[in-house]
Amino acid sequence: MTEDPYRITTAAQLTALYPSPAPRTLTKIRDRLDPGTAGLLSASTFVLLATADADGACDVTPRGGPSGFVKVLDDHRVALPDLNGNHLLDSLHNLLANPHAALLVVIPGQDETLRLEGAAYVTTDPDVLDRFVGEVRRPTTAVVIEARSVYTHCAKAFRRGGVWDPETWATFERSPFLAARHGQLRHDGLTEEALDEYVATNEGKIGADLAADAPT
């Protein structure tokens, strides 16, 4: 195999390409939650959960719920309920093999985000699970993350992408996600009609799962 002369392989090569971070960027990185970052979590309805398996293969999954569905247990620990999903349990299996996770915390309409990472585990502790009662159904398990670093991330990426600006949102005659799903399923020999029926059935299941996640 021909060696790629442009591949970066050392930290020295990498840091030589960029300016040093501003001192205040570094001082924003904290090892615990404070009232401000806890307040961000209490306002969030959407997070991205990042995990990796024992070999380092990464996985990122979206998780959503009512405001404050990620619970602050104390100034170091947060808990994320595991609600109805696809039952692959990728994130949970990863945590058994590699007990570490990161969250990107999003508040719809806000360009800034919160990054949080640390040791993590799956729990059935009733004291943790009971915290979700009344807001969502009592989850089977929760993911607890023990924060090692907590960092408020600036708005550049969301503004570059125009994430919350409707004028930047493309319109499609057919959803690109629907087309991608059809492409993934065609190897099963399904016809276009059968694929459409499958997608419609799946939409119905999503509705049923969301209803099942509602508080009882």
Residue 136, pLDDT score: 92
Residue 173, pLDDT score: 81
**Segments of the chain with pLDDT less than 50:** none
Domain 22-161 fold:
Pnp Oxidase; Chain A (2.30.110)
Instruction: Please list the alpha-helical segments (H only) found in 58-191.
Output: 90-97, 126-129, 156-161, 176-185
Say whether pTM exceeds 0.75. yes
Q: CA–CA separation, 11 vs 8, rounded Å?
A: 8
Q: What is the largest CA-CA distance in the chain?
A: 60
Query: Where does CATH 2.30.110.10 sit in the chain?
Result: 22-161
Residue 188, pLDDT score: 67
- pLDDT tens-digit profile of 30-45? 999 999 999 999 999 9
Instruction: Please list the alpha-helical segments (H only) found in the chain.
Output: 11-15, 23-27, 35-43, 90-97, 126-129, 156-161, 176-185, 192-213
Residue 175, pLDDT score: 81
